[in-house]
Amino acid sequence: MKETQRYFYKAEDKLKSRKIIQQLFAEGKYFTVFPIKAIWLPENQINLLQAGVSVSNRNFKKAVDRNRIKRLMREAYRLQKNELQEHLLKSNQRLSLFLIYNGKELPDYQLIFDCCTTIINRLIKLTNASNQTNI
């Protein structure tokens, strides 16, 4: 009998430390897969992989809309992060990640899911490249 894979987004996987978030915005590298901007830093003392999400208050005045977008982003990330975690385990790296939604319209789930797929694949390539230069 084949065991199905379970997907979690536990409290220790969430980026909450103000100190790490400030360091991430000050020293982190970034790229954009419209409408999501990904800021990442290949250092994390707490956990293997931590991520946070945010939506601009300027573009979405209603908290209901901001919360919906954050929920969609967290769900798309939760379902796809295992591939990135496995890569980080193999390469013995740690990563902090912050996803910011920059669009001006309410997205559908498929758009967010596709953007997260692209972001995770690009992060795997970037961490692989940075690991090659450190050897």
Looking at residue 38, what DSSP letter applies? E
Q: Flag whether 2 is in a domain.
A: no
Tens of pLDDT along 58-81? 999 999 999 999 999 999 999 999
| Sign of the torsion formed by the C-alpha atoms of 27, 130, 37 and 112 | negative
Averaged pLDDT for residues 84-98: 92
Parent domain of 49: 14-127
Mean pLDDT of 23-27: 94
What pLDDT was estimated at residue 7?
A: 82
Q: Which residue has the tokens 């909450």?
A: 16
Question: Does residue 3 or residue 66 have the better pLDDT?
Answer: 66
The pLDDT tens digits for 95-113 are 999 999 999 999 999 999 9
122 is a domain residue: yes
Q: Which residues lie across from 101 on neighbouring strands?
A: 36, 55
- In this prediction, residue 5 carries a pLDDT of 77
- 134 pLDDT more than 70: no
The total domain count for the chain is 1
Query: pLDDT of 28-45, one tens digit each?
Result: 999 999 999 999 998 777
Residue 1 forms part of a structural domain:
no
Backbone angles phi, psi at 62, to 5 degrees: -85, 130
Residue 96 lies inside a defined structural domain of this protein: yes
- The pTM assigned to this predicted structure is 0.90
| pLDDT over 60 (residue 135) | no
| CATH number, residue 32 | 3.30.230.10
Which one, of 99, 109, 103, lies nearest residue 59 by Cα?
103
User: Quick check: 24 and 60 in contact, CB under 8 A?
Assistant: no
More confident residue, 7 or 55: 55
Q: Tell whether omega for the bond before 35 is within 30 degrees of 0, i.e. cis.
A: yes
Identify the bridge partners of residue 46 per DSSP, sorted by sequence position: none
Q: Residue 4 domain-assigned?
A: no
Give a yes or no: residue 132 inside a domain: no
Secondary structure letter of residue 62 according to DSSP: S
Average model confidence (pLDDT) across the chain: 90
At 92 the three-state DSSP class reads coil
- The SS3 assignment for 52 reads strand
